[in-house]
Structure 1
Amino acid sequence: MNTFKTSRLFLMVIFAIALFGLLACSKVNKENYDKLKIGMGYDEATALLGEPDQCETLLAFKSCTWGKGPKTITIRLAADKVILFENQGL
């Protein structure tokens, strides 16, 4: 029984470390936001932030958002070039 408890505790610690690692690796952060520039291409933005969580297109404009919940970065594009960007919670 003691071995079971030790194994279970070990697995819980490993899970907590992995979860913390995933949260700490988020590309939605102030440092990456500060690297965004007007005129930057969509490919450059995705190289910096990864694939967006959501994109919407209206006529010639695209709006893409990275992150969910309290921390997000939203970029507005025209002809696949950044024309506006904003953040929430950074």
Structure 2
Amino acid sequence: MKKILLLSAVLMLSACSKLTSENYDKLKMGMSAEEVKTILGEPDNCSEALGTKSCIWGNEEATYIKVSFVADNAATFSNNGLK
């Protein structure tokens, strides 16, 4: 019974993923980090270097969206494995 509940929970969470090509297409240059978070939710990881901040949603080894910010404005986007 526990396995069925766990499987159901995993399926429900994966169906609610914000890592979609539709959401990726909503991202625009110049958006603030908060505007991006409104579309994608909280990032899984962020790093900062030389005045830029890069955030990733998902897993770089599989499905992800990566956004780089300069002065809190979206500057570059990349993705992999979106459906």
Indicate whether the TM-score tops 0.5: yes
Per the normalisation by structure 1, the TM-score is 0.82
Structure 2: tracts of 5 or more residues without a match: none
What are the equivalent positions in structure 2 for 1:16-31 lying under 5 Å apart?
A: 16-31=7-22
The alignment yields a C-alpha RMSD, in angstroms, of 1.2
Q: Where in structure 1 are there 5+ consecutive unaligned residues?
A: 1-7
- Cα deviation digits, residues 41-70 of structure 1 (max 9, x gap): 100001111111111111211111100141
What SS does the corresponding residue of 1:62 show, helix, strand or coil? strand
Higher helix share: 1
Q: What residue in structure 2 maps to residue 80 of structure 1?
A: 72
TM-score by length of 2: 0.88
Aligned to 1:3: none
Whichever of the two has the greater Rg, that structure is 1
**Post-superposition shift, 1:79?**
0.5
Question: CA offsets, 1:4-45, max 9 Å, x none?
Answer: xxxx3xx43333222100111111111110100001110000
Structure 2 SS opposite 1:52: coil
The corresponding residue for 2:42 is: 51
